[in-house]
């Protein structure tokens, strides 16, 4: 029987659905998380609240890998959203860096989510026993492949848009 969710765990789970939905909306509409859009702003705010609520959750004392992933997701998201577009030294790489940061943060957001979902559902007989379970490892490998293919396609779209703008 899986461990039941605490009150904070339930709040964290519900809050974590906000950046998930906002990010999926951005990918569906713009093929990226667009930080200037309403869904992009909701994504960034939801990600921050999700990460901050995760700090109160841990089955062990101290910092755990989920906390580290949360901080990395925040750095990637806010670095991509606000810092990358302002770094002149990146030149033409700025849109790639922005897109990578936001997409990578979305990838990181779901890494602990995949583990938690597979070790808790279905409630009577979860699909996995923990992060080292082959089911979790296979799911995370699949998620990594989705990220790599997705960012490759995003990069190709940025390049095509840049080339079309030059030809005008």
Does the structure show a pLDDT above 80 at 59? no
The domain total for the chain is 1
78: in domain: yes
- Residues 6 or more apart in contact with residue 128 via CB below 8 angstroms: 115, 118, 119, 135, 136
Range of the domain at 86: 7-167
d(CA 138, CA 118): 11
67: in domain: yes
In tens, the pLDDT along 66-112 reads 889 999 999 999 999 999 999 999 999 999 999 999 999 999 999 99
64: in domain: yes
| CA gyration radius, the chain | 17
Report in angstroms the alpha-carbon separations of 88 from 26, 54, 77, 126: 26, 34, 19, 49
Single pTM value for the model = 0.93
**117: its two tokens:** 């979902």
149: in domain: yes
1: in domain: no
59: in domain: yes
In tens, the pLDDT along 6-16 reads 889 899 999 99
2: in domain: no
């Amino acid at each position: 029987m899986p461990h039941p969710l605490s009150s904070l765990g339930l709040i964290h789970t519900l809050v974590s659905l906000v950046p998930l939905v906002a990010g999926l909306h951005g990918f569906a509409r713009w093929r990226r998380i667009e930080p200037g859009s309403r869904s992009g702003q909701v994504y960034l705010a939801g990600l921050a609240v999700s990460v901050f609520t995760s700090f109160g959750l841990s089955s062990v004392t101290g910092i755990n890998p989920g906390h580290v992933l949360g901080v990395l997701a925040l750095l990637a998201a806010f670095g991509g959203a606000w810092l990358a577009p302002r770094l002149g030294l990146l030149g033409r790489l700025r849109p790639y860096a922005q897109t990578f940061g936001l997409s990578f943060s979305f990838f990181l957001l779901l890494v602990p989510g995949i583990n938690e979902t597979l070790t808790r559902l279905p409630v009577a007989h979860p699909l996995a026993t923990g992060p080292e379970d082959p089911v979790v490892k296979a799911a995370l490998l699949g998620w990594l492949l989705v990220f790599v293919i997705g960012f490759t396609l995003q990069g190709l779209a940025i390049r095509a848009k840049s080339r079309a703008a030059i030809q005008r």
